Amino acid sequence: MAGQTLYDKLWSQHLVKERDDGTALIYIDRQLLHEVTSPQAFEGLRLAGRKPWRIDANLATPDHNVPTTLKERAEGNAGIEDPVSLIQVQTLDDNCNEFGIEEYRINDPRQGIVHVVGPEQGATLPGMTVVCGDSHTATHGAFAALAHGIGTSEVEHVLATQCLLAQKMKNMQVRVEGKLGAGVTAKDIVLAIIGRIGTAGGTGYAIEFAGSAIRELSMEGRMTVCNMAIEAGARVGLIAVDDTTIDYLRGRHYAPAGEQWEAAVADWRELVSDADAAFDKVVTLEASEIEPQVSWGTSPEMVTGIGGEVPDPAEAADETARTGISRALEYMGLAPRQKITDIRLDKVFIGSCTNSRIEDLREAARVARGKKVADSIKLAMVVPGSGLVKRQAEEEGLDKIFLEAGFEWREPGCSMCLAMNADKLGAGEHCASTSNRNFEGRQGYGGRTHLVSPAMAAAAAIAGHFVDVRDFGDAANDATQQQEA
């Protein structure tokens, strides 16, 4: 018998029951909740007179539309100026209260973006099934957890039954082999993957990221990669357990301790694909060929290297691609063959569940240190992923570096990743953003998003347009030194 993939193992460890038609009942170990996709689920429970199946499997925090200015945050919920946002955040508090669910409220230092908070607290563990009413739940797969986004009906279903009705996905392996160049990061890896396989490339698959370049990444880098599996069309992104995974988890709040820790670690070590496991599809990338990436269009697959240019629709492969490119260029206000380095920016956003962890902020700060945000930039903001990330960054003095350079230093939340709060782009504004989606209107009506890594975003803030972070001031120097060392 052929070996099992990591996904196969996680699936069979959680299989409660399988129907003849292929639909299966899967047990869910952890559900993360936030204010946007849960109110209708709680309401459904109440209407049906149902109780949550296992309260301690749930953890909640408001993130999507919490304000990020200190002024609004100082007063807790009462400070939320938008009355509709206030109701939503308040509703989460009320629901968690009523059902007894643990919640990190708006001004709790542990509050933050669900996908930053879960791993940070050790609430995401290897071998778990993790769900959340949010597509970027794929993030947690970096821990060899079977994690994916669900809709609100499914949130209610998990609350009521601790299970999910699911169909087994196919297995895809994306191997990234070799060494990344200096200044090239996890974000560039995943953007390059999406550029290669397209936004529907992973539809129907669970993607396992493997290869030496993935193994070299820290847990935070791995989360960045898995986070964007969904932009490649896959609900699930996975990375096998190794020492890096285990070291990260030791001592975290929800992680096991003592004897249980030893038993858990032994169990987790098995969470790798067997050497003879068969994948339905394998894609390989060479790490050394990946440049810092910049998206130019309105879909994450519309991406190229910093040395590249905007495509010419005239050269598109077919009619659908041609209209797609033309429409994107029109929306983005870009000309065919325009050089990426000639794209001028209005705003810069460093944050989101893709890139708002401490290493992301360090990377951006290293570029920004001692420099000034260009005068032409109307707003450059840094939004830490959680209160604990913010505290850590302040202990390291990163906030000062950003503030001195002219960035705003904000309170944790999703912020301008989807612009549900006051942080948004104006029509026609170009933004270098470390988030994950460049859809039309995503960061504000008529706004134009370019997806990049934190270092590239910081460099763009200083230059006022995109620049290759590899030839950029201290970052380039540091990087060379690291390489030489």
353-372 residues in contact with ligand SF4 (CB under 6 A) are: 353
Nearer to ligand SF4 among residue 77 and residue 139 (C-beta): 139
Q: Which residues contact 178 (CB under 8 A, 6 or more apart)?
A: 212, 213, 286, 287, 288
Nearer to ligand SF4 among residue 34 and residue 371 (C-beta): 34
Min CB(2)–other proteins separation in Å: 24
Interatomic CA distance for residues 108 and 202, integer angstroms: 37
163 annotated as ligand-binding: no
Residues 45, 66, 113, 460: which binds ligand SF4 (CB under 6 A)? 113
Nearer to ligand SF4 among residue 297 and residue 413 (C-beta): 413
256 binds, among other proteins, ligand SF4, none (CB under 5 to 8 A by kind): other proteins
Q: What's phi and psi for 316, nearest 5 deg?
A: -65, 155
User: How many helical (H) and strand (E) elements, i.e. helices and strands, does the chain have?
Assistant: 17, 19
Contact 109, 384 (CB under 8 A): no
Contact 110, 121 (CB under 8 A): yes
Min CB(193)–other proteins separation in Å: 16
Does position 414 interact with ligand SF4 (CB under 6 A)? The reply is yes
Min CB(349)–other proteins separation in Å: 15
140-169 residues in contact with other proteins (CB under 8 A) are: 148-154, 156-157, 160-163, 165, 167
CA distances from 233 to 197, 198, 202, 229, 280 (A): 9, 8, 4, 7, 16
Tell me, residue by residue from 301 to 320, as one string, x for binding to ligand SF4 by CB under 6 A and - for no binding. Answer: --------------------
231-260 residues in contact with ligand SF4 (CB under 6 A) are: none
Window of 80-88, 118-126, 309-317, 410-418 that interacts with ligand SF4 by CB under 6 A: 410-418
Contact 103, 90 (CB under 8 A): no
Nearer to other proteins among residue 258 and residue 370 (C-beta): 258
Nearer to ligand SF4 among residue 106 and residue 210 (C-beta): 106
Interatomic CA distance for residues 128 and 397, integer angstroms: 35
Nearer to other proteins among residue 127 and residue 385 (C-beta): 127
Q: Which residues contact 217 (CB under 8 A, 6 or more apart)?
A: 186, 189, 225, 244
Pairing of strands 163-167, 23-27: antiparallel
269-308 residues in contact with other proteins (CB under 8 A) are: 299
Contact 110, 102 (CB under 8 A): no
Q: What's phi and psi for 334, nearest 5 deg?
A: -120, 155
Q: Which residues contact 447 (CB under 8 A, 6 or more apart)?
A: 419, 424, 425, 426, 427, 428, 429, 431, 441
Does position 352 interact with ligand SF4 (CB under 6 A)? The reply is yes
Does position 121 interact with other proteins (CB under 8 A)? The reply is yes
Contact 276, 8 (CB under 8 A): no
Min CB(351)–ligand SF4 separation in Å: 7
Min CB(64)–ligand SF4 separation in Å: 5
Contact 192, 301 (CB under 8 A): no
Residues 64, 148, 175, 424: which binds ligand SF4 (CB under 6 A)? 64
Give buried/exposed letters for 253-267 (b at 16+ CB in 10 A, else e): ebbbeeeeeeebbee
Does position 60 interact with ligand SF4 (CB under 6 A)? The reply is no
Interface with ligand SF4 (CB under 6 A), residue total: 13
Nearer to ligand SF4 among residue 120 and residue 134 (C-beta): 134
Tell me, residue by residue from 166 to 185, as one string, x for binding to other proteins by CB under 8 A and - for no binding. Answer: -x------------------
Nearer to other proteins among residue 76 and residue 256 (C-beta): 256
Min CB(373)–other proteins separation in Å: 27
Contact 283, 172 (CB under 8 A): yes
Does position 96 interact with other proteins (CB under 8 A)? The reply is no
386 binds, among ligand SF4, other proteins, none (CB under 5 to 8 A by kind): none
Min CB(86)–ligand SF4 separation in Å: 18
Contact 436, 416 (CB under 8 A): no
Min CB(181)–other proteins separation in Å: 30
Does position 435 interact with ligand SF4 (CB under 6 A)? The reply is yes
Residues 350, 418, 451, 458: which binds other proteins (CB under 8 A)? 418
Interface with other proteins (CB under 8 A), residue total: 86
For residue 468, count other CB atoms closer than 10 A to its CB: 19
| Strand order across the beta sheet in which 430-433 lies | 408-409, 379-382, 347-350, 430-433, 448-451
Does position 185 interact with ligand SF4 (CB under 6 A)? The reply is no
325 binds, among other proteins, ligand SF4, none (CB under 5 to 8 A by kind): none
Does position 134 interact with other proteins (CB under 8 A)? The reply is yes
What letter represents residue 311's amino acid? P
Nearer to ligand SF4 among residue 219 and residue 418 (C-beta): 418
Q: Kindly report the length of the chain.
A: 485
Quickly list H helices, 338-379: 358-368
| Residues at the site binding ligand SF4, with contacts judged by CB under 6 A | 63-64, 113, 115, 134, 136, 352-353, 414, 417-418, 435-436
